Chain A
Amino acid sequence: MALHFELVTPSKLVRSEEVHMVVVPGSEGEFGVLEGHAPFMSTIRDGAVQVYKTEGGEPESIEVRGGFAEVGEKGLTVLAEHVEG
Chain B
Amino acid sequence: MASLKELKDRIGSVKSTQKITKAKQMVAAAKLRKAQAAAEAARPYANRLADVMGSLASKVSGDSAPLLLRGTGSDQKHLLVVVNTDKGLCGGLNSNVVKEAKKQAAKLIAEGKDVVFYLVGKKGRAPIKRDYADRIGHHFDTSTVKNIGFDEAEGIADDLVARFEAGEFDVAHLVYPIFKSALAQDPTTVQLLPVPSPETAEESDAAVEYEPDEEEILAELLPRYVKTQLFGALLEREASEQGASMTAMDNATRNAGELIDKLTIQYNRSRQAAITTELIEIIAGAEAL
Using a CB–CB distance below 8 Å, which chain A residues touch chain B?
A: 6, 8-13, 26-28, 38-43, 66, 68, 70, 72-73, 77, 79, 81-82
Contacts and interface: CB of A to CB of B under 8 A. Distances in A.
B45 A79 contact: yes
Contact of A81 (B42, B48, B150, B207): B150
B189 to A, nearest CB: 22
Contacts of B211: 26-28, 40-43
B45 A43 contact: no
B135 to A, nearest CB: 31
Given A10-B228, A11-B150, A77-B48, A41 B41 contact: no
Main secondary structure of the interface of A (DSSP, over half): strand
Given A27-B211, A40-B208, A10 B217 contact: no
B95 to A, nearest CB: 29
Contact of A11 (B42, B217, B220): B42
A15 B211 CA distance: 24
Nearest to A16: B44
Q: How large is the interface on B (under 10, 10 to 19, 20 to 34, 35 or more residues)?
A: 20 to 34
Given A8-B48, A68-B220, A68-B221, A41 B228 contact: no
Nearest to B37: A12
B172 to A, nearest CB: 20
A10 B231 contact: yes
B92 interface: no
Contacts of A13: 41, 44-45
Nearest to A9: B45
Nearest to A29: B211
B209 A38 contact: yes
